[in-house]
Each structure stands twice: as C-alpha cells, then as structure tokens.
Structure 1
C-alpha cells in the first residue's frame, strides 16, 4: 500500500543524537516545538519553528525527503487550507493555520521516526499510571493509543489503494467505487487486529 505509514513513519534505527535521547525528553521536545506556535500566533514564528524542526531532524540524520513524506491527503488538506485563507484575504492565516499543523505533525515524526513502538507504549503507560486511581489499566490505554496510531495510516493507505485500483479501471471519478473496498479493508483490518489481541489474551470479556 502507498501511505500506510506516511503520517507517522516507520522507525528505523540510526546513529543520530535524537535516536539516543531518552523517550521522555523526546515527548517534551515535541511539546516545546509544537505548542508555542499556537501561543505566539505569528506567521514568522510559525516559519521559524518549522525551520527549527527541520534543523533538528537534519542534525540527527533524518533527511528532509523522509521527514516530508506525509502522504498526499495531508498535503492536499494543507494546500486547501492555505488557498482558502489566501482567497479570503488573510495571508497571515494562510501561513499560520496550515503551518502550525505541519509543525505539529513534523514534531511528532521526530518522535515516531526515532523511537520504536514498544518504547513509545512503555513510556505512555508510565505517564498514564494515575489512571489506576479510576480502575483503568494504563497498559491497555497505551495499547489503544498504539492501535490508533497504526490504524490511521493503514486506513489512509486503503483509500489510496482503492483509488489506484479504480483509476486503473477508468472508474476514478466514481466515489461509490471507492467506498466498498475501503469499508472491506477497514473491517478486515479490525478483524485481524481483534484476532491478534485475543491470541495474546488481551481484550477477553470477563464474566
């Protein structure tokens, strides 16, 4: 499939400093890079933060091509947002709105491209430890987040595959031709995920 991992990317071990940074500091780095753009709300600050994110990636061996491989749907959404604000005569918003989203996504990719999913889950489970006070299992909550992270790019890839198949048959302009394979792909993915969880003794219903 084309974009199953385009938004969050696939972790591949590397020698850069960001790969060696403890995961807690990486989570903090994501917050430091993405939240100030929402607080300052200035177009020049958004561009500065974008440059900083790309610089952090470059100094750790994450090339721009890999960092910017986000999938056509996200780029299309950012493009539409940019053109909308430009058409409504809000050039600063045209930079800030899509720019802030891009900064947040790229900052998140600094985390996911340099950290394995099990490490991310362990760190998240530790952070969610207070949930035990309300009788919720932090490990299962972390697992739910991990499944969401894996599911979103998979479903995006399913849409891409369905579109490519429809285009190959000359049916690319018919949305109805995309709905069935996308729904079947989503249901099949959910079933396989459920079977995998049950095989590991997770999610069994207790009477």
Structure 2
C-alpha cells in the first residue's frame, strides 16, 4: 500500500529557529492555538493568527506543498461545515469556525514538521510521567501514539488504492466495493502489528 500523509506534515530536517525551539515551547504553541480556537470570536483575528502560523511553517523550510498536503484532506469537510454555518449563522461566523480549525491543524503540522518523531514521543512520555502515580503508563501512551501515526497513513493509502481499483472496474459508487476491502486490509494490518508487538514483548502489562 502506498503511504499517504494525513492531516499532519512529516518531519523535515532543518536548522530553522522553529527546529531549534525547545519541545515544551512547541507544545505550548499548539496548546495556545487550541485555546485560541475557542477564544477568538472575530474571523479577522483568526485569519491573522493563521497567517502567522503559515509564515512560520514556510520559514521552517517545510514548504508550501507539505502545508497544502496537511490541510487537503480536511478541505471537503471544511467546505461542508463552512456552508452549513454560513446558512445558519452567517458568513463571519462560518469564516471564524473554518479558520480556527485550520489554525489547530497548521499548529500541529508545524510541530510534527520540525520535531523528529522519537523526540516528540520522548516529550509525550515526559509530559505523561506525573500521571504515573494515578496508574498511567507513559511509555504505553507514547507507543499508542506512535502506532496511530504509523497506522493512519497506511489506512488512508489502503482506501486510496481500493478506490482507484474500484474506479477502474466501474464500481466507485458501490459502498461494498470500497468498504469491505479496506476493512479486511485494516484488520490484517492491526493483527500483524499486534503480533509484531507481542513478539518483541511490547504492549504487555508489567507485573
């Protein structure tokens, strides 16, 4: 199956200021953008914040193509959300909601594009470590995120391959021709992943 990026940009090596920022500061930036998406009530402020993030993304050297690929899967959903909100609440509210969603996606993409995955997971472990006293397992949490980041592009690629195959056979409008092969492929992938983890003694609860 071919790999497909899904929402978040892949890591791009570089020496930009964003690359050299401490990981905690990048996490703080993402959290701030998430909070801003709830607090910003003016679409012009949302547009300004999104513009700043896009400029930072481009200055990091990740490139406009990766930025577009990060938001491309969301565009149909944003179009539907924007049209519905425009109909219900008007254009300014629709623009604010769509821009705030993009703000969160671009912020997360900036984090993943400028931070190696192993460093990102180490940061997740560090953040989750204080919750160990409540029974949390930081390493297991980081492993779950790593599997998720690896699985989503695979599933997206599986869907694209099945869709292309169905289109070639004139079955692109047949839900069964699309859903069933993707379901079987996904279950097989999950099973193989579980077997690989079990073979390495990963994912088992500690005594």
Report the TM-score when normalising by structure 1. 0.90
Change (3 A) 1:22 1:200: farther
Tell me the distance in 2 between the aligned counterparts of 1:157 and 1:91: 35
**1:75-98, Cα deviation, whole Å (9 max, x unpaired):** 111111112222335111221112
Q: Give the match for residue 149 of structure 1.
A: 149
* Cα distance, 1:35 vs structure 2: 2.0
Q: CA deviation at 1:156?
A: 2.5
What's the CA shift string for 1:47-95, capped at 9, x where partnerless? 1111011111122212222112136542111111112222335111221
Q: How big is the shift at 1:180?
A: 1.1
Moved more, 16-25 or 31-40: 31-40
The equivalent of 1:77 in structure 2 is 77
* 1:205 to partner: Cα distance: 6.0
Q: Distance in 1 between matches of 2:2 and 2:71?
A: 8
| CA-atom RMSD in angstroms | 2.0
Q: Could you tell which deviates more after superposition, 41-50 or 3-12?
A: 3-12
Write 1 or 2 for the structure with the bigger share of helix.
2
Q: Which residue of 2 is the match for residue 123 of structure 1?
A: 123
Structure 2 contact 13–114 (Cα < 8 Å) conserved: yes
Instruction: Give the structure-2-normalised TM-score.
Output: 0.90
Change (3 A) 1:97 1:52: same
Contact 2:128–2:138, Cα closer than 8 Å, also in 1:
yes
**3-state DSSP class of the match of 2:70?**
coil
What aligned pairs does 1:20-31 form with structure 2 within 5 A after superposition?
A: 20-31=20-31
Distance 2:85 2:174 in 1: 29
Matched with 2:173 is: 173
Q: Distance in 2 between matches of 1:192 and 1:71?
A: 30
Deviations 1:174-197 (A, max 9, x none): 111101111012112211221221
Q: Distance in 1 between matches of 2:160 and 2:87?
A: 29
Task: Give the 5 Å matches for 1:60-75.
Answer: 60-70=60-70, 72-75=72-75
2:182, 2:170 → 1: CA distance? 18
For the structure 1 residues 12 and 121, does the alpha-carbon distance in structure 2 shift closer, same or farther, using more than 3 Å as the test? same
Contact 1:18 1:60 in 2 (8 A): yes
Aligned residue-pair number: 207
Identify unmatched segments of 5+ residues in structure 2.
none
Matches of 2:44 and 2:153 in 1, distance apart?
Answer: 31
